[in-house]
Chains A and B, each alone.
Chain A
Amino acid sequence: MSARRALAAAAPVAVFVAVGEGTSDRVDDLCLRAEIERVASPRHASVLLVAGGVRERDVASLRRLHDQLPHPRATLCWASDIPAHFGTPRTLPPHAAPVLALRELYRQLLTGEHPSESDLLPDEPPAPWRGIGEYGQGGKGMMGGTPYGRPMPMTDDDLRDGLALDVYTLRLGPFMPTLPAGLVLTLTLQGDVIQHARMESPPLWPAPPSSPHAAHAAAVRQVEPLDESSILHKQGSSAAASESSKLGDSGATGSSAGQSGQDDNRYTPGIARTLAHREHQRAAQHLRGVARMLAVLELAPLAERCRRMACAIQHGDSVPIAPLRKALVRSGAFAAIPAGLGQLDPPMAQALGGAALRAAGDAVDERLHDRAYRELDFRVLTQRDGDVRARLHQWLDEAEQSMHLASRAGDLAPAAASHADERDVGHDPLPADDAVNMPAPNHDAFATLLCGLEWNEAMLVINSFDVAALRRMYRPPKDSPEEAGATHHGHAM
């Protein structure tokens, strides 16, 4: 191995991650490792990491993506069902950690033990040249034709000032790192101003619903997970009964009152642990959202710091949020976001629910109805404006509140209590897709939000929503309603 290759082998592995179903969060954590460098474009990568299941309709994109990596290149499929479409790439089961595999693959790629993968698709234009005239300029005025089957930009009215400019239609996703994983958009641009926007595919859930992180998944989904029946009943009848009796809620506890007596504190360690765990997951999820927005604001180091905090919190560490907020204020992140950008009108906010609704000023939170939370003096945090900046504030406020709730829950639990109910941690009491219970927005909220925005603002708006809200904005094409949530319930209408 030459000195050049040896030096290159010592560099972090440049990985482009094609994020599939339910792996986004794990990939975020993986890419915090110093041995790995996550790159934003396949042109800058040595290894393509396919993480998680890829939807059938995204496979063609994935194959094109593969061919865009420069040689030497290799593919690693982690927890993915894709190999059948993909030649014979390395595979790795879901429970394995891919850091070592990635490094080993990269080393072999540089020594030549693993030959660089060849193209999956023929290297030719997708359609034949169909220009008119000597320069292809036949047709209208100085230009025209459909080079390689692509319609030429043609004049359209500008949304802002009526100046007629050419429009340009492009498709983004599903693997674009700026967007939530799985989101596919068709944008029509004039300059960098969006004239039309359509969500072709909804984003994928960032974590699997049945993992040990299920509560996390629930938090992701924005259904406030803990209603009365959830925590208290999950803790087993004795705990529930004791708490109920303490609260004098006799009607509900008649049958089980006699079984209590081991503990008259409201918070058994199990409840405290479950609650703390859930709040940690919620905080982590919000921080990951903040990180996505920071990346759009060109604050990559702060985004990495956010993801690192999210990773630590998800593993149960208590991390203060306030210093992060201070750093954000100093960076000008809040000031950079124009006031009123991506503002939701009340019906749209109602339809989206969750943090987006609270950021618009509605104090709606399922946790209010949970006695466990009431005991902790839980109150709903809200913002007023319902715009991108308010949603960023909301995420940070709620993350901070979650950390606070988690630590208070721990304080209230009896210190000497035994460690019970470990198995309850992470039990997911919710339906897999809360969109089932919620009315969908009754118009194309997504297009309304994005039309007339400039590119960077549009990216800010998209990333100011969590996956649940974005999925709720998805409207399947009229001719094939069932395609909607191919991976989950096809219920988005």
Chain B
Amino acid sequence: MPWLGTLVLLGGSVVFVAVIDSLAFALIAQRPPVNLMRDALLAPWRAVAVSLVRQQNRTEHPDRLNWALAPALYLALAGIGLAVVPLAPGVAVIDSSASVVLWGAVETLTVIAVFLHGWSANAPLPLIGAYRYAAMGLPIMLLSMFVLIGTALPAQSLSVADIVASQHDVWNVLRQPLGLLLFLLLGLSLSLRGPFDYADSADLAGGTASEVSGAARLTWQLARHAMLVAFAAMASSAFLGGYLGPVRAGPWWLALKMLVLITLLVGAGHSLARLPPSRMLTVLWTVLLPLSFLDLALAGVVALW
């Protein structure tokens, strides 16, 4: 049953991401409030239909195999990322004793999927997007792992299930508020959003996605949304107690927390400016990474206490 539950959660949340995405855009852009809600509800389905009608294009001498595989890999990684999250006590598709490390591997391979997507097209703008994203994705990943290890300390385990269980009395967000903030940056980066969208950015006319059309582009968009969902599930489990709630622990609490986090991240993605990459790298290495060290050290002190 964990399979089915995870799939339902994934499908429902992906639709939610797509809808809230167009709605947030329209609201921040202050579009005239005519049919806003209706358009936002229909937008994802229309986009799917348009993509399916459209031909898949080809560039000159792409790496066809990698170009086709990159979106599929990205989507699969989102699936694996969601699979390590327990939906209820003892109910997870991948119930490994090292599932936090597995999540780390998902983060790494995501950087590779995005890089390959841009590199394989054999065109300059996707290449620059890919290159830039890889340079940015690595420090963000380091940072996220420090923060995540901080949540593993109170649980004394590398298993996400144990981390959730360890929050029975107090959620990790109260023990490590800084950790959640830093971890949220990873969500923007993994799903290529707003201030951390260095791969598919507007200054590169769509970056790694600027040369794809049709079904391949659809898969890519789907994977971006799915990755946001997987991230929201992980963040809810690591910091907000996952399936735990005031009454009757269960997947509904997880879903509720995910929707809140997704809305927050989508809103932030549309309303925060992106720093130029060199500036962002400086901020990452000199400010945010030390902050994550600090977070980890504090988590260690609290755990020893």
Contact = CB atoms under 8 A, between A and B. Distances in A.
A/B contact in complex, CB under 8 angstroms: yes
B30 interface: yes
A185 interface: no
A297 B31 CA distance: 20
A118 to B, nearest CB: 13
B273 A457 contact: no
Contact of A70 (B30, B54, B273, B276): B54
B175 interface: no
The interface size bin for chain B is: 35 or more
Contacts of A72: 53-55
A378 B228 CA distance: 51
A432 interface: no
A337 B276 CA distance: 7
A327 B273 CA distance: 11
A304 interface: yes
B49 A8 contact: yes
A177 interface: yes
Given A40-B202, A41-B206, A332-B272, A70 B132 contact: no
Contacts of B203: 178, 295-296, 298, 455-456, 459
A132 to B, nearest CB: 17
B52 A44 contact: no
Contacts of B50: 8, 11, 14, 46
A478 B217 CA distance: 44
A369 to B, nearest CB: 38
A70 B46 contact: no
Given A10-B42, A70-B56, A302-B28, A460 B276 contact: yes
A336 B274 contact: yes
A337 B52 CA distance: 39
A192 B132 CA distance: 8
Contacts of B34: 34
B205 A41 contact: yes
Nearest to B214: A70
A70 B202 contact: no
Contacts of A299: 270-274
Interface in B18-68: 24-26, 28-31, 34-35, 39, 42-43, 45-50, 52-57, 60
Contact of B124 (A170, A177, A178): A170
Interface string B263-305: 0000000111111111100000000000000000000000000
A139 interface: no
Contacts of A338: 276, 279
A336 B280 CA distance: 9
Given A11-B50, A46-B50, A298 B277 contact: no
A373 interface: no
A333 interface: yes
B213 interface: yes
Contacts of A43: 57, 206, 210-213, 217
Contacts of B194: 298
A331 B53 contact: no
A467 B262 CA distance: 40
Contacts of A331: 271-273
A44 B213 contact: yes
B162 interface: no
B201 interface: yes
A300 B131 contact: no
A333 B272 CA distance: 8
A399 B204 CA distance: 28
A46 B131 CA distance: 29
B178 to A, nearest CB: 19
A147 B202 CA distance: 30
Nearest to B25: A301
Given A5-B53, A43-B57, A338-B279, A300 B128 contact: no
Contacts of B54: 46, 70-72
A168 B124 CA distance: 9
Contacts of A122: none
B46 A8 contact: yes
Nearest to B268: A331
Contacts of B43: 11
Contacts of A305: 28-30
A91 interface: no
A443 interface: no
Interface string A154-198: 000000000000001010000011100000000001011000000
Given A40-B202, A455-B128, A4 B276 contact: no
A95 interface: no
Interface in A109-133: 110, 125
Interface in A263-319: 294-302, 304-305, 308
B197 A41 contact: no
Nearest to A116: B55
Given A7-B49, A10-B46, A296-B202, A454 B278 contact: yes
A169 to B, nearest CB: 10
B81 interface: no
Contacts of B30: 305, 308
A326 interface: no
B277 A34 contact: no
Interface string B110-142: 000000000000001000100110000000000
A330 interface: yes
B187 to A, nearest CB: 16
Interface of A: 4-5, 7-8, 10-12, 14, 34, 40-41, 43-44, 46, 68, 70-72, 110, 125, 148, 168, 170, 176-178, 189, 191-192, 294-302, 304-305, 308, 327, 330-333, 335-338, 341, 454-457, 459-460
Given A168-B124, A302-B28, 10 more contacts: A34-B34, A41-B205, A41-B206, A43-B57, A70-B54, A192-B128, A308-B29, A331-B271, A332-B272, A336-B273
11 contacts: A5-B53, A7-B45, A10-B42, A110-B53, A298-B274, A299-B271, A301-B28, A308-B31, A335-B273, A455-B203, A455-B204
Interface of B: 24-26, 28-31, 34-35, 39, 42-43, 45-50, 52-57, 60, 124, 128, 131-132, 194-195, 197, 201-206, 209-214, 217, 270-279
Closest 5 CB pairs of A and B: A11-B46, A301-B28, A7-B49, A8-B49, A304-B29
